[in-house]
Amino acid sequence: MKKIVFACISLVLVFSACKKDQSPTVPVNDPLDTTAQVKFTGTFINGPFGMVTGTAQVLRAGNNDSYSLALKDVMISNGPDLHVYLSKEGQPVNFIDLGKLKSAAGTQVYSIIGNPDFTQYKYALVHCQRFNHLFESAELMMR
- In degrees rounded to 5, what are phi and psi of residue 13? -65, -40
- HSE of 24, CA atoms in CB hemisphere, 13 A: 9
> What is the nearest approach in angstroms of another protein to the Cβ of residue 111?
13
Strand 123-128 versus strand 133-139 pairing type: antiparallel
Task: Specify the amino acid at residue 40.
Answer: F
CB 53 within 8 A of CB 66: no
Stretch that binds another protein, among 22-30, 31-39, 92-100, 101-109 (CB under 8 A): 92-100
Applying the rule CB under 8 A, the residues between 105 and 134 that interact with another protein are 113-114, 129-132
Applying the rule CB under 8 A, the residues between 47 and 86 that interact with another protein are 81, 85
Residues forming the site for another protein (CB under 8 A):
1, 4-5, 7-8, 11-12, 14-16, 19, 81, 85, 91-97, 113-114, 129-132
